[in-house]
Amino acid sequence: MPRRTKPTSRRWPSCSPPPFPAIRPMIGTKSVLLLIGLLWVVPAWAQHQQPAPHRGPSDIKQYIEQLEKPEREKDQKPDEVVKALEITDYMTIADIGAGSGYFTRKFVWAVQDKGMVYAVDVEPAMLKYNEDMIEHLHTPYNAKFIVSKPNDPMLPAGAVDLVFICNTYHHLEKRADYLKRVKASLTKKGRVAIIDFYHDDRSGTLGFPKDHLVPQETVVKEMAEAGYTLAKEHTFLPRQYFLEFIVGEKPKAGGE
C-alpha cells in the first residue's frame, strides 16, 4: 500500500517544499557495506538510476550529499522544471532514477494526497533515504517506493500520467525494451519527460567522459523507435536538454 502521512494544518507560503535539516542519511553500516561496490561517484548534482562503468566506489553518505548540494539548484532549476511540467493535483507521477529524492519531494509537494508519486530506483538504501526525507514535508501524501530492475521500472500498467527521467537516461540498459515497459505504464494521455546532460561543451565539467552521455538527437530517435513523439522541448536549462514525449502522433493545432 502507498505510504500516507496524517493530515496536518502546517503549510509553507512557497509552492516549493520547506527547507530540510542537514543531510543525515538514515542508513546503517551494514547497508553501506553491502552497497559500497554498487554506488558511484557522480557530478555534484546528478541523479542516478543504476551503476555505470565510468564511476568508482563511493560512500553512500557522500553520494547523497552530492545529490543534495544547494548549488545544484542554480543549473537544475527544479521549481521551473516542475512548473513547466504543468502538474495538477490528481496526477500520478513516476520519478525514475529518483535517487535521494531531489525531485520526488517536489512532486509529492505538488500533488500531496490527491495524487500519487512513484519513486523508482534500483538502490533500496537510496529509496529509504528518500522516504525518510519526505516525512519532513509534514504534509499528507501518497507515495510508493519501488525497487526496480535495471531493465524494468516495475510500474503498474496504465496508471502513470507523467514519467520523469532526470540524469538517468544515459544509464538505462537495453533502452528499447525499457522504454516499451515505460509506455505500458502510461495512461492514455500520459507523458514522458527526459532531462539529461548535453553531449557537448554546454554541459560543462561533469567528472566523467562525455561519451557516456546520449545526444539529444539520439534520444529523440530512440523514443520514436519505441513509439513516442516529441511534444515539447524546453530550453531554459543551461547544461541539459529537457524533452517531453507522448505516445503516438502529436495532436494537430486546433484539435483537428
- Residue 36 has which C-alpha cell? 559500497
Tell me the per-residue pLDDT of 64-121, one tens digit each, with 9 for 90 and over: 777 787 877 888 899 999 999 999 999 999 999 999 999 999 999 999 899 999 999 9
pLDDT at 64: 79
Check: CATH 3.40.630.30 for 25-249?
A: no
The pLDDT value given to residue 11? 34
Distance CA 73, CA 20 (A): 14
| Closest to 95 measured CA to CA, from 174, 162, 188, 173 | 162
Mean pLDDT of 195-216: 86
Q: Return phi, psi of residue 212, to 5°.
A: -85, -15
Please state the pTM of the whole predicted model.
Answer: 0.78
Q: What CA–CA distances, in Å, run from 207 to 15, 203, 241, 256?
A: 33, 11, 18, 47
Angle between helices 124-134 and 104-111 (to 10 degrees): 40
Report d(CA 210, CA 199) in Å as an integer.
6
Per-residue confidence (pLDDT) for residue 61, from 0 to 100: 76
CB 44 within 8 A of CB 67: no
Tens digits of per-residue pLDDT, 145-187? Answer: 999 999 999 999 999 999 999 999 999 989 999 999 999 999 9
Residue of 155 and 123 predicted with greater confidence: 155
